[in-house]
Chains A and B, each alone.
Chain A
Amino acid sequence: MIKTVTGALVCASFAVAAAGPASAADYKVGMLLPYSGVYAALGQDIDDGFMLALEEAGMVDQVEMVREDTEVKPPVGLAKTRKMVLEDQVDVLVGPVSSGVLGAVRDFVDQTKTPLIVANAGNDAATGENCSPYIVRVSFSNSQVNRPMGQWMVDNGVKSVYTLAPDYAAGQQQITAFADAFKEAGGEVVGQEYTPFRTTQDFGPYLSQAQSTNPDAVYVFYAGSEAINFVKQYDAFGLKDNTTLYGSGFLTSPLYVDAEGPAAIGVIGSLHYIPTLDTPENKAFVEAVQKKYDRVPSEYTVQGYDAGRSFVEAIKSGATDKEAIAKALPTVSYTSPRGPVSIDPATNNIIQNVYVYETVEGDDGKLTQKLLGTVENVKDAPNGCEL
């Protein structure tokens, strides 16, 4: 029984191998994304956004897509990257979602001179001390999204905050960037706690602690199911009644705001994209995503779209091989659904607007995003990056 099953699988695997690359596409793109595991939904949004950009440019037939699942595990991500670069010989890589995977593949991508368009992973170091001329980030950096919020909150009368975030690199970078800016603007951080990453589901003890310090506001970074749990429990413990919840805008992303329900109303976040931006580019984009995928685009969809769009722009500028694409990518600039974007020549990180938004109940009773303020052209300091 087992032998027959394995036999069949082995045969199947040979069939797959034999089918091999046989298309006449001009370019090969390697998608290095989590198609399984905790970030699978993010991976899918990025992939969908990328394909939309190719479609819009009429380039779908010119590009052969290679998709590999990182499983959100750095060693797996690195193995898959090696496969795509050495075996499939892709012209450009797109991904990854996890900063851990990005850290793992960084040296290899740099050494093999393979252009990598970072479509999510926000680790500051990737466009700071560990930057590379082959790595261009079109998503965001952890500090870029949070820094503007420091000044904004002080301007809006918040004098003291309590911060919470999961205890891992992204959590620390996001909170540190915010806290530094907040203190610089004259605010006071009255308490700071990091919760064990991915093992904390019950935030009760932390919420009670935050409550006991009596801050003007609570500022957090959480994503995925942690964000849902946090927002709901924040409301359940009654903190929302007199202490506004602020955070890195991933907290109430369109991806999971529905699961948060009414608890998300009134939460204020800062993010590089919200689907309710009132620009012609964004309206067309939202409509296209609605039509093709029947859902509201998230910041991840737009990151995927901009990864695709910057690739398209690089090709349009005449780049044909890896080296040329890598050179062309940092020079792209256009108006994205999220506003005007360009690549910072000093770091290869995107320069973009950061939006402060509040989650509100729309006319149709569904939760939507209300724009409160825009901080234009936010750019990171080089932080030790030498390109």
Chain B
Amino acid sequence: MSDWSYWAVQTLNGLQLSMLLFLLSVGLTVIFGLLHFVNLAHGALYALGAYIGISAATATGSYWAGFAAAPVVVALTGILLYLGLMKRMRRAGPMNQVLVTLGLIFVFVDIFRLVWGDIAIGTVEPALFTGRSELFGVVYPTYRLFIIGLGALVMAVLALVLSRTQLGAMIRAGVDNDQMAACLGVNVEKIFFLVFCVGCALAGLAGAVAAPVFSAHPDMGTEILISTLIVVVVGGMGSLRGAIAGSFLVGFAQTFGTVLLPHVASLLIYALLALVLVFRPTGLFPARA
């Protein structure tokens, strides 16, 4: 393998991880920006997405069934959580929210164990994206290219919706000042709810998309949680720009850290987080300056 293609593949690795982190963290950050709600259970929703994706794929024999089912089921679960628990926690302060959702993580882990067992389960990628693709002498797994493409697509759609549509304007208004937005006739509650559902659906989608690359196991949500939180906090909570910046920073730091500085690789993202927070106490691109 030539030197050039080696670094190209590593860049693609970084890109792929960044996109996965983006799919996961964008929901978390927008929910925080709008609802001021810290949802630690977001990782558990991702795990649920992976489980649903695998189960649906196994039952129907088609990857795309899982791809479609996971966001829907996870969004529905999110709605239940929202109505049953999170709505009343809206004004309870970050600590109570952190703790309630920490409790939810515990509950979810055991539910996964009870339903899907202790052993990790997996699934195969769709026939359309098996194997590898070659471009300018660079060979890369096709399914990972699909993840990169999907991430970019979601990124573009969200950016368009937020910047160019009326709905986007209302969401931005809600993030800036929800009371003022409500005074101006925006149905803030409805927007909150919609955003929450979309955020959960994206977490579910991320789970279904990750399932063929990673296996699903009860602790997978807890394992990914820290990386996701780091993305959100480094980027600055509540802004799409922050989620994008955070995903790329963490994704590339992790990938190139393992390649260039293998001995401190596991320290790197924490050091990054600490560094950003020391100099920018609210992250790089906070929604409200």
Contacts and interface: CB of A to CB of B under 8 A. Distances in A.
A and B touch in the complex (CB under 8 A): yes
A198 B259 contact: no
Nearest to B20: A202
A214 B2 CA distance: 11
Interface in A8-52: 36-38, 40-41, 44
Contacts of B13: 202, 204-205, 208
A38 B222 CA distance: 12
Interface string A199-227: 10110111011011010000000001100
Interface stretch (A231-239, A348-356, A363-371, A376-384): A231-239
Contacts, number: 93
B115 to A, nearest CB: 14
Contacts of B219: 37-38
Contacts of A202: 13, 16-17, 213-214
A286 interface: no
Interface in B132-148: 132, 139, 141, 143-144
Given A41-B118, A261-B122, A225 B215 contact: yes
A38 B113 CA distance: 11
A201 B224 CA distance: 9
Contact of B124 (A225, A238, A262): A262
A244 B82 CA distance: 49
B184 interface: no
B2 to A, nearest CB: 9
A229 B213 contact: yes
Given A195-B258, A208-B13, A232-B213, A41 B122 contact: no
A137 B260 CA distance: 40
A255 interface: yes
Determine which residue in B119, B139, B141, B220 has the highest number of CB atoms from chain A within 10 A of its CB, and name it.
Answer: B119
A152 interface: no
Contacts of A255: 119
A232 B143 CA distance: 12
A225 B141 contact: no
A260 interface: yes
B248 to A, nearest CB: 15
Given A40-B118, A256-B120, A261-B124, A204 B144 contact: yes
Contacts of B17: 202, 204
A129 interface: no
A165 B240 CA distance: 37
B262 A193 contact: yes
- Size category of the A interface is 35 or more
A296 to B, nearest CB: 12
Contacts of B214: 201-202, 225, 228-229
Contacts of A214: 1
Contact of A212 (B6, B117, B119, B124): B6
A237 B141 contact: yes
Determine which residue in A36, A204, A260 has the highest number of CB atoms from chain B within 10 A of its CB, and name it.
Answer: A204
Given A228-B215, A236-B143, A256-B119, A211 B220 contact: no
Nearest to B224: A201
Interface string A252-286: 00011001111000000000000000000000000
A209 B121 CA distance: 27
A205 B120 contact: no
B144 A208 contact: no
B49 to A, nearest CB: 15
A229 B119 CA distance: 13
A376 to B, nearest CB: 31
A202 B224 CA distance: 11
Interface string B104-128: 0000000001000111111111000
B141 A259 contact: no
A186 interface: no
Interface in B180-216: 212-215
Nearest to A224: B120
Contacts of B1: 211-212, 214
A196 interface: yes
A350 B120 CA distance: 29
Contacts of B143: 236
B177 interface: no
Contact of A229 (B144, B215, B259, B265): B215
B195 to A, nearest CB: 28
Interface string B254-268: 011011001001100
A259 B265 contact: no
A238 B1 CA distance: 13
27 contacts: A37-B219, A41-B119, A196-B266, A198-B223, A201-B224, A202-B17, A202-B213, A204-B16, A204-B255, A205-B258, A206-B258, A208-B6, A208-B259, A209-B259, A212-B1, A212-B6, A225-B215, A228-B120, A228-B122, A232-B213, A236-B125, A236-B132, A236-B141, A255-B119, A256-B120, A259-B120, A259-B122
Interface of A: 36-38, 40-41, 44, 167, 193-196, 198-199, 201-202, 204-206, 208-209, 211-212, 214, 224-225, 228-229, 232-233, 236-238, 255-256, 259-262
Leading 4 A-B pairs by shortest Cβ distance = A259-B122, A196-B266, A41-B118, A228-B215
Given A212-B6, A224-B217, A236-B125, 13 more contacts: A44-B118, A198-B223, A202-B213, A205-B13, A211-B1, A214-B1, A225-B214, A228-B120, A229-B213, A232-B122, A236-B144, A259-B120, A259-B122
